[in-house]
A and B are shown apart, each in its own frame.
Chain A
Amino acid sequence: MEHLILRVTTKLMFAPIILFAFYVQFHGDYGPGGGFQAGVIFAVAFILHAFCFGLDETKKVLPQKALIVMMVIGFLFYAGTGVVTMLLGANFLGYDALVPESTHHAGQHYGILLVEWGVGTAVASTMLTIFYHFAGREPDIDQEDW
């Protein structure tokens, strides 16, 4: 077993990094943080995994195709929140329409939570896609290219 210490440390660190990403994600409403930072931290966990176990192993966990789907879903979370508020009768991203009966703008809270979740998903998957492409150097040879 090569680099045993590195491997064990990475395995130990992996889950806490993702937990920290979620903390930054959900703490974004009240303090420093939010989707952009959380997305990058989330991606860092997988980048660390790729450094230690090799890109191929990471791609087994999180394949490129899944990342594209994540990007799209993340973006649609954002735009979709806006469209929903439009359908509820407010302007685009007018969060108050989400909980119209609230007296203390609870809609703003839910709205920004949804939007930040979308941002986090999109940023994490985009960071990983950029990393995959830089680290992979040669693009994967497609089945059709043989």
Chain B
Amino acid sequence: MNLIAQLPVLPIIIPIVAAPITLLLPKGRVPHLWACLFSWLTFAACIALFAEVSSTGPISYHLGDWAPPIGIEYYIDLANALVLLLVSGIAAVVFPYAYRSVQLEVDERQTPLFYGALLICMTGLLGVTITGDAFNVFVFLEISSLSGYALIAMGARRDRRALTAAFNYLVMGTIGATFFVIGLGLLYQATGTLNMADLADRLIGQDNRMVEAGFAFILVGMGLKLAMFPMHLWLPNAYTYAPSAVTAFMAATATKVAVYVIIRFIFSVFNFDFAFIGAAFTYVLLPLGLAGMFVASFVALFQEDVKRMLAYSSVAQIGYMLLGLSFATVEGLTATLVHIFNHALMKGALFMAVGCVVLRAGSHSIYAFAGLSKRMPVTTWAFLISGLSLIGVPLTVGFISKWYLLQAAFEAGHWYAGFLIVASSLIALAYVGRVAEVMLLREPAEDGKYAMPKEEAPLSMLIPMWVLVAANIYFGVRTDLTGGIAQRAAETLMSMAGGAP
């Protein structure tokens, strides 16, 4: 076996072979160690793949030795190599973190099922990212979503509302997937192919209603999956009631992958100079992105529940990504890709910090955070630093995202958007500041519902959390890493689309 030649398929094969075996393992510690091991192996494969792609250029892998467009093709260029690295990296951090948190929040007998589902969810997200076949995107999307619904529902041990949240997500997610597949059906009808590169070739010059409708269905379907405002209603409950580790993983990866799919379809499948794509940018993505930034941030301001607050903040952050995309320039696309990466780092760290508090205080209400700096200083600082990153303070990744986004906004001539970005960051300052005030200045509850022992979270949770916090600062200082790669990826995507960079 030639390992380098088989590298593109390894990020899918490793977890998908490991996942079913997890079901046969005895409950307790073993499934966790097993899942951790394979998440790290997958991460290693993704790093190797990324190195390969960035040095030799795009890789195409033919499944079953059937050449595309007939066979299924995995096509990896810099844009999806970056997202692959992100998804597997977050997984490699969240899996070790999960053990203690899952011990508390999930029924012990379900642990083999839980880690199996987590591995399958990761496989699905990696598969959506890696594939060059439009229908394969749908298949992997369903793999990740179905396991995601089950993972969210497992939060029911602590709070029964997880069941309705998961069901709600299931209904919305299925509608989204159905819309996506209807869109694919229309494109297939118009072109007779499902391979992305082949679709792009055959769509040239096809400026008709069917292709337009196909694009609209794909955009709306994916919009549901990525919680584009105002289709975000499933997200706050799903993130609030899911087990902490699941929230940290899904908030950092699931919506980002859906944003990637939209980018991929707009730039690699649809020819970028279709008039209706320009209209979608101006009349759909731009206003909805801006509205999401403000409405969701504003709603986050009034949440009693920190997890729910962060969930609304995620909706707002997706607004930033769509805004960058809607500028339709290399700078805007770079800003979106950078923010996909950076937002995953900050939201992952924030939700992990909340998970630590849940472990000790048994609640993610803001009242449980009272005086947290005296009870759990290490967790408090992790929350504060990643919170600052969310606001966009210099030396953190959040600043880099905002910087690229501002630059893109002014260069695209949308100067008002630049001011709105700053204004919505001020709302972020308010909602993070509210939690910070409670953590730093309030006195901890001595008795009652939110009283907790003066005990830090276990190291198995602190270390992964601080790895992400450190990444927040590292990539905030070494901007050439993410920014440079995102820029190259954006240029590749733009040149594929044939649009003027």
What residues of chain A lie closer than 8 Å to B24, measured between beta carbons?
68-69, 72
A:50-76 near B, CB below 8 Å: 68-69, 71-72, 75-76
What residues of chain B lie closer than 8 Å to A69, measured between beta carbons?
24
Tell whether, in the assembled complex, residue B65 and residue A96 are in contact, meaning their CB atoms are under 8 Å apart.
Answer: yes
Tell whether, in the assembled complex, residue A86 and residue B20 are in contact, meaning their CB atoms are under 8 Å apart.
Answer: no
Residue from B1, B21, B61, B109 in contact with A76 in the complex, judged by beta carbons closer than 8 Å: B21
Q: Is B208's CB within 8 Å of the partner chain A?
A: no
The interface on chain B, measured as residues whose beta carbon lies within 8 A of the other chain's beta carbons, has a size of 18
Which stretch in A10-18, A41-49, A87-95 binds the other chain?
A87-95
In terms of DSSP, what is the predominant structure of the interface of chain A? helix
Complex: A71 Cα to B23 Cα, angstroms = 10
Q: Is B488's CB within 8 Å of the partner chain A?
A: no
The interface on chain A, measured as residues whose beta carbon lies within 8 A of the other chain's beta carbons, has a size of 23
Q: Is A99's CB within 8 Å of the partner chain B?
A: no
Given A93-B63, A96-B65, also A76-B9 (CB < 8 A): no
Tell whether, in the assembled complex, residue A92 and residue B64 are in contact, meaning their CB atoms are under 8 Å apart.
Answer: yes
Tell whether, in the assembled complex, residue A86 and residue B6 are in contact, meaning their CB atoms are under 8 Å apart.
Answer: yes
Residue from B17, B23, B109 in contact with A83 in the complex, judged by beta carbons closer than 8 Å: B17
Complex: A91 Cα to B68 Cα, angstroms = 14
In terms of DSSP, what is the predominant structure of the interface of chain B? helix
Complex: A110 Cα to B486 Cα, angstroms = 44
Residue from A72, A76, A88, A91 in contact with B62 in the complex, judged by beta carbons closer than 8 Å: A91
Q: Is B56's CB within 8 Å of the partner chain A?
A: no
Q: Is A142's CB within 8 Å of the partner chain B?
A: yes
Complex: A71 Cα to B113 Cα, angstroms = 13
Tell whether, in the assembled complex, residue A91 and residue B61 are in contact, meaning their CB atoms are under 8 Å apart.
Answer: yes
B:19-67 near A, CB below 8 Å: 20-21, 23-24, 61-65
Tell whether, in the assembled complex, residue A86 and residue B64 are in contact, meaning their CB atoms are under 8 Å apart.
Answer: no
What residues of chain B lie closer than 8 Å to A72, measured between beta carbons?
20-21, 23-24
Chain B positions 401 through 414: 1 when the CB is less than 8 Å from some CB of chain A, otherwise 0 = 00000000000000
What residues of chain A lie closer than 8 Å to B216, measured between beta carbons?
none
Q: Is B445's CB within 8 Å of the partner chain A?
A: no
What residues of chain A lie closer than 8 Å to B1, measured between beta carbons?
86-89
Q: Shortest CB–CB separation between residue A137 and chain B, in angstroms?
A: 16
What residues of chain B lie closer than 8 Å to A96, measured between beta carbons?
65
Tell whether, in the assembled complex, residue B20 and residue A92 are in contact, meaning their CB atoms are under 8 Å apart.
Answer: no
What residues of chain B lie closer than 8 Å to A75, measured between beta carbons?
20
Complex: A69 Cα to B23 Cα, angstroms = 8
Q: Shortest CB–CB separation between residue B416 and chain A, in angstroms?
A: 50
Residue from B13, B17, B21, B65 in contact with A90 in the complex, judged by beta carbons closer than 8 Å: B65
Complex: A71 Cα to B24 Cα, angstroms = 10
Given A72-B24, A76-B21, also A91-B2 (CB < 8 A): no
Given A69-B24, A76-B21, also A92-B16 (CB < 8 A): no
Q: Shortest CB–CB separation between residue A37 and chain B, in angstroms?
A: 19
Closest residue of B by beta carbon distance from A74: B20
B:105-121 near A, CB below 8 Å: 109
Tell whether, in the assembled complex, residue B23 and residue A95 are in contact, meaning their CB atoms are under 8 Å apart.
Answer: no
What residues of chain A lie closer than 8 Å to B23, measured between beta carbons?
68, 71-72
Residue from A79, A86, A87, A94 in contact with B16 in the complex, judged by beta carbons closer than 8 Å: A79
Complex: A92 Cα to B65 Cα, angstroms = 8
What residues of chain A lie closer than 8 Å to B5, measured between beta carbons?
91
Complex: A122 Cα to B62 Cα, angstroms = 25
Complex: A117 Cα to B16 Cα, angstroms = 18
Q: Shortest CB–CB separation between residue A76 and chain B, in angstroms?
A: 6
Tell whether, in the assembled complex, residue A89 and residue B20 are in contact, meaning their CB atoms are under 8 Å apart.
Answer: no
What residues of chain B lie closer than 8 Å to A71, measured between beta carbons?
20, 23
Q: Shortest CB–CB separation between residue B62 and chain A, in angstroms?
A: 6
Closest residue of A by beta carbon distance from B5: A91
Tell whether, in the assembled complex, residue B20 and residue A94 are in contact, meaning their CB atoms are under 8 Å apart.
Answer: no
Q: Is A82's CB within 8 Å of the partner chain B?
A: yes
What residues of chain B lie closer than 8 Å to A142, measured between beta carbons?
109
**Given pairs A79-B13, A94-B65, A144-B109, 12 additional interface contacts (CB within 8 A):** A68-B24, A71-B23, A76-B21, A86-B6, A90-B65, A91-B5, A91-B9, A91-B62, A91-B63, A92-B13, A95-B64, A96-B65
**A→B interface (CB under 8 Å):** 68-69, 71-72, 75-76, 79-80, 82-83, 86-96, 142, 144
Could you show 11 A-B contacts with beta carbons less than 8 Å apart?
A72-B23, A75-B20, A80-B17, A83-B13, A86-B6, A91-B5, A91-B9, A91-B63, A92-B9, A92-B64, A94-B65
**B→A interface (CB under 8 Å):** 1-2, 5-6, 9, 13, 16-17, 20-21, 23-24, 61-65, 109
